[in-house]
């Protein structure tokens, strides 16, 4: 038994080391020389006053906290070495806004960054609460920091809600999905409790992560919308929301 425990603990340690070295690899990957040059330029322009800690390390991008001129910023850096950039193809090549992007990693990632900027801009003009996009430069997106005093708002996934509050949050999300569809002509395409933040002060949702969002003309737009609908209903079913996918769809597509 003691032996097994020791083996277990040895494997745990090896795993931890592995994880650590993966993390280091990721950090090496994110701050490659061209990316550092862009950050340097942005700091020379006074847009970034100080780069803070890491908020998140995702599949394709890292998000950092930063101080701007007189506001807090979130800096999303798409990793040039991202292994999932192939998946970006399917979203970007069929988007009428981005049909003439050359088919190489660099250009696809830069276009992806501009696309997220444009999607956030459109969502914001449609009246949806999203981080205000400020700069898109190569693989770097600078946006409004959604949080306070260096602490980002929690994900919907990690927010405790009473049933009553959950109903209000759900209604607001439905309103945003409707606005996104009807006013911004977009489908989020990765909407779930992982890409919605909750402002703790008034429990309003904030949509984030719109790199993959596509216009309604995209051949897979309906499929993406349906997936968003299922994700939202799956999450809110635990709070007693009983809408069927068709119910939510017709709310989103109502005139
Ligand atoms: P990914 O593609 O890695 O999922 P996201 O855009 O979802 O990238 O960002 C990852 C995480 O970073 C989010 O879950 C959120 O916690 C945090 N984050 C992203 N944008 C902001 C922002 N503008 N303000 C505060 N936190 C943010
Ligand atoms: Mn995300």
Residue 4 reports pLDDT greater than 70: no
pLDDT in the model for residue 29 = 73
Testing ligand 1's pocket by substitution, the residue of 121, 150, 209, 213 carrying the most ligand atoms inside 8 A of its CB is 209
d(CA 4, CA 253): 58
pLDDT in the model for residue 83 = 64
State the pLDDT confidence band at 14, using cuts at 50, 70 and 90: low
d(CA 208, CA 136): 16
Half-sphere exposure (Cβ direction) of 195: Cα atoms closer than 13 Å: 17
Degrees (nearest 5) of the Cα angle 79, 84, 88? 95
Given the cut 0.85, state whether the ipTM is greater than it: yes
Active site residue 209: yes
- Per DSSP (E only), the strands in the chain are 50-57, 61-67, 72-78, 133-137, 140-144, 147-148, 151-152, 186-187, 196-198, 205-207, 214-215
SS3 33: helix
Residue 210 reports pLDDT greater than 80: yes
pTM listed for this prediction: 0.89
What number is the average pLDDT over the span 203-222? 97
Testing ligand 1's pocket by substitution, the residue of 59, 61, 63, 91 carrying the most ligand atoms inside 8 A of its CB is 63
pLDDT in the model for residue 105 = 84
232 lines ligand 1 (CB under 6 A): no
pLDDT in the model for residue 94 = 80
Total count of residues recorded for the chain: 255
Name which of 167, 163, 155, 229 is nearest 193 in CA terms: 155
SS3 47: coil
What pLDDT, in 10s, does the model give residues 129-162?
Answer: 999 999 999 999 999 999 999 999 999 999 999 9
SS3 247: helix
Q: Are 108 and 89 a contacting pair, CB within 8 Å?
A: yes
Catalytic residue among 20, 89, 190, 243: 190
Q: Are 62 and 79 a contacting pair, CB within 8 Å?
A: yes
Residue 21 reports pLDDT greater than 80: no
Residue 125 reports pLDDT greater than 70: yes
d(CA 174, CA 176): 5
Report the nearest-CA residue for atom 25 of ligand 1.
146
Residue 25 reports pLDDT greater than 60: no
Burial per residue of 143-177, b for 16 or more beta-carbon CB atoms within 10 angstroms, e otherwise: bbbbbeeeebbeebeebebeeeebeebbebbbebb
Share of the chain above pLDDT 70, in %: 88
Give long-range contacts, CB 8 A cutoff, 24+ apart: 62-70: 62/26, 62/30, 65/145, 65/150, 65/152, 66/142, 66/145, 68/134, 68/142
d(CA 114, CA 116): 5
Question: 112 Cβ partners below 8 Å, 6+ apart?
Answer: 78, 88, 92, 211
Mean predicted lDDT score pLDDT of the chain: 91
What pLDDT, in 10s, does the model give residues 38-51?
Answer: 999 999 999 999 99
Rounded distance from Cα 19 to ligand 1 centre (Å): 21
61 lines ligand 1 (CB under 6 A): yes
What pLDDT, in 10s, does the model give residues 82-95?
Answer: 767 767 877 887 88
Spans of all domains in the chain = 2-148, 153-253
Q: DSSP secondary structure string, 61-90?
A: EEEEEEE-SSSEEEEEEE-TT-TTHHHHHH
pLDDT in the model for residue 93 = 77
SS3 24: helix
User: What is the CATH code of the structural domain delimited by 153-253?
Assistant: 1.10.510.10
pLDDT in the model for residue 22 = 59
Q: Do domains 2-148 and 153-253 have the same CATH topology?
A: no
User: What is the CATH code of the structural domain delimited by 2-148?
Assistant: 3.30.200.20
Tokens 């737009």 correspond to 221
Least confident of 22-26, 77-81, 192-196, 226-230: 22-26
pLDDT in the model for residue 28 = 60
What pLDDT, in 10s, does the model give residues 55-113?
Answer: 999 989 999 999 999 999 999 999 988 767 767 877 887 888 887 777 788 889 999 99
């Amino acid at each position: 038994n003691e032996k097994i425990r020791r083996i277990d603990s040895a494997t745990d340690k090896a795993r931890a080391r592995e994880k650590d070295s993966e993390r280091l690899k990721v950090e090496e990957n994110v701050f490659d020389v061209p990316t550092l040059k862009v950050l340097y330029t942005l700091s020379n322009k006074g847009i970034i006053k100080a780069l803070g800690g890491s908020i998140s390390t995702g599949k394709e991008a890292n998000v950092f906290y930063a101080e701007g001129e007189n506001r807090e910023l979130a800096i999303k850096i798409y990793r040039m070495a991202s292994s999932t950039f192939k998946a970006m193809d399917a979203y970007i090549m069929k988007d009428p806004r981005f049909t003439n992007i050359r088919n190489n990693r660099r250009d696809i990632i830069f276009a992806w960054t501009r696309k997220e900027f444009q999607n956030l801009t459109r969502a914001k003009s449609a009246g949806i609460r999203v981080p205000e996009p400020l700069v898109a430069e190569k693989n770097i997106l600078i946006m409004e920091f959604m949080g306070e005093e260096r602490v980002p708002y929690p994900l919907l996934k990690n927010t405790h809600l009473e049933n009553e509050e959950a109903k209000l949050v759900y209604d607001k999300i439905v309103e945003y999905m409707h606005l996104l569809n009807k006013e911004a002509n977009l489908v989020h395409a990765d909407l779930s409790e992982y890409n919605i933040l909750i402002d703790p002060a008034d429990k309003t949702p904030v949509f984030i992560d719109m790199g993959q969002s596509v216009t309604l003309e995209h051949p897979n737009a309906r499929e993406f919308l349906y997936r968003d609908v299922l994700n939202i209903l799956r999450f809110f079913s635990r709070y007693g929301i009983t809408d069927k996918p068709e119910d939510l769809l017709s709310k989103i597509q109502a005139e």
